[in-house]
Homo-oligomer: A and B are copies of this chain.
Amino acid sequence: MELPSSLLMFISSRHAEERIVAHLRAHGFDDLTLAQGRLAARVAEGGSRVTELAEAAQITKQTAGFLVNQLEKGGYVERVPDPTDARARLVRMAKRGRAAQACAREMELIVEREWEQRLGVRRMRALRESLENLREITDPYL
């Protein structure tokens, strides 16, 4: 075994992440950091609580709160009171956040297509299937 599979996965996933960040920067979302982006990607359609985001991203709620503040200042998300719980507030994507999301997905798709071209449709599908399969034993927040 030259390199472990996990390291090979790390290499390619980081490559994709860097491409996405560069794409966002090039389109005016240059105040968005990697950590902020990772968290923003977890915000649900109807809004998410800070604590939920923290769990999903596997960071403490303090860190998540800090990142949400930055995202709020940047106009990417907004906070609204949670009607069902006076302690909580819901984090929702704002207009700029949705635009950034769309921008990120664009590059995500481009990379995905590049990989498919490299491997061919059959092997790309097999790759995705295996990765999804492994996720069931590797994703603690499935």
Contacts of A138 in B (CB 8 A): 11-12, 15-16
- Determine the distance from Cα of A119 to Cα of B132 in the docked complex, in whole angstroms: 11
Secondary structure call for the A interface: helix
**Whole-angstrom distance between the alpha carbons of A8 and B15 in the complex?**
13
Query: In the complex, how many residues of chain A place their beta carbon closer than 8 angstroms to a beta carbon of chain B?
Result: 38
User: Is A8 a contact partner of B119 (Cβ separation < 8 A)?
Assistant: no
Q: Using a CB–CB distance below 8 Å, which chain A residues touch chain B? A: 1-13, 15-17, 108, 111-112, 114-115, 118-119, 123-124, 126-128, 130-135, 137-140
* Residues from chain B with Cβ under 8 Å of A123 in the complex: 126, 130
CB neighbours (8 Å) of A133 from chain B are: 118-119
CB atoms of A8 and B112 under 8 A apart:
no
Cβ contacts under 8 Å, A7 to chain B: 13
Choice from B10, B11, B16 contacting A4 with Cβ under 8 Å:
B16
In the assembly, what is the distance between CA of A135 and CA of B1, in Å?
15
Q: Beyond A10-B10, A119-B134: 12 further Cβ-contacts under 8 Å?
A: A5-B115, A5-B131, A6-B12, A8-B134, A8-B135, A9-B10, A12-B138, A13-B13, A115-B134, A118-B134, A126-B126, A126-B130
Q: How far is the CB of A40 from chain B (nearest CB, A)?
A: 14
- A100 and B31 alpha carbons, distance in the complex (Å): 39
